[in-house]
Structure 1
């Protein structure tokens, strides 16, 4: 579902450009609105969510899909935790569909899917590992890297139940926006994948924006 936001960037309390291949980690407080903006188009933002009160409670793809009875995420989707609690709700979306089945790329999966020589290429799991290592204050370790959402990524389900990685649906200036329903730690890997069309074979920057509840 396409729905534009009434919020404008000039009223945001926080803004940060995340270069291609880099990570971003931040706590978004209950009542704040969080936006991921695709600056140049056709970029995938692999995102993890954790309860700031207890990071052992984190985003659950299984519970989210079951609760909404849809494998694609868009306006109205409540992102559910492993404890069955709503973490965030998608309130605005100018892309219309996001993936939560395809997972995050890793050096191992690049090797299996593409070629042995791809193992040395940077991947989202590497970004996650770097983020938790460099930001110990969030209380996360590599064991906390689990189900993620691939915002802007196009992963159609085939008639026989398989998954395919297709050209992205996003474009320059497209965004997805979420209302935090609890204090959440947000961890994004701005995907560096070069072996499939999820980034148009050309990873580009994103911007993250946060508005306070009164915005």
Structure 2
């Protein structure tokens, strides 16, 4: 289980390197995803608690935003075109919503010089299993802090180290009752070749800001 401890943000939960967790948000709750050391990606999934077949959708979100880089003021939509999360604060401004969670196959196909690992897909599947969510149902995640520049002429992209520095954060407000899956990403290229923890904090609706 992740380790919880107190800071100026309130109660922060630490997700250890190359692992993941799941937890619930109520409508109106605020979730801060924090990069405590800098240069670390966190894969985020949102699933409706009312019907777990309703999940965060990259395709719907990018279609409605009409751009691929999302930040403060943008909304994350479900596969049913309902708003699941609002981005209410962002100190980085560069995240990815194109690439699927890394998996055992990612390591087999893209990192043949690395030991095999179940990746974010496996970590999300394990964390979401108690909610009845199967691994084949896991969609493209919102990759907090992931830096994927796209060439405007060719459409080719690169995975570069995150731009996030120690203490950077992205903050979401839930628009419905949700299950959240969240990881400290396991792919070397996504994290500049190293693996670090991710922190998160939940503030309940109606609670005063820290």
TM-score, length-scaled by structure 1? 0.88
1:179 aligns with 2:173: yes
1:140 aligns with 2:133: yes
Q: Which runs of 4+ in 1 moved over 4 A?
A: none
**SS at 1:208 equivalent:** strand
Select which of 125, 149, 154 maps to 1:160: 154
CA shift at 1:128, angstroms? 1.7
CA shift at 1:111, angstroms? 2.2
CA shift at 1:201, angstroms? 1.1
State the Cα deviation string for residues 50-109 of structure 1 (Å, max 9, x = none). Answer: 011111000000010011111111101100000000001000000012100022111212
**SS at 2:176 equivalent:** coil
- Residue 80 of structure 1: aligned partner: 77
CA shift at 1:188, angstroms? 1.0
Q: What is the RMSD computed on CA atoms of the aligned residues?
A: 1.5
- Residue 144 of structure 2: aligned partner: 151
For residues 118 and 110 of structure 1, the distance between their equivalents in structure 2, rounded to whole angstroms, comes to 7
For residues 44 and 80 of structure 2, the distance between their equivalents in structure 1, rounded to whole angstroms, comes to 19
Select which of 92, 97, 119 maps to 2:94: 97
- Residue 202 of structure 2: aligned partner: 210
**SS at 1:88 equivalent:** strand
For residues 27 and 115 of structure 2, the distance between their equivalents in structure 1, rounded to whole angstroms, comes to 39
- Checking the alignment, whether the CA contact within 8 Å between 2:99 and 2:140 is kept in structure 1 is no
**SS at 1:99 equivalent:** coil
For residues 172 and 106 of structure 1, the distance between their equivalents in structure 2, rounded to whole angstroms, comes to 26
Where in structure 2 are the equivalents of 1:50-61 lying within 5 Å? 50-61=47-58
Where in structure 2 are the equivalents of 1:191-206 lying within 5 Å? 191-194=185-188, 196=189, 198-206=190-198
TM-score, length-scaled by structure 2? 0.90
Q: Unaligned 5+ residue runs, structure 1?
A: 1-8
Where in structure 2 are the equivalents of 1:52-71 lying within 5 Å? 52-71=49-68
Q: Unaligned 5+ residue runs, structure 2?
A: 1-6
For residues 148 and 182 of structure 1, the distance between their equivalents in structure 2, rounded to whole angstroms, comes to 18
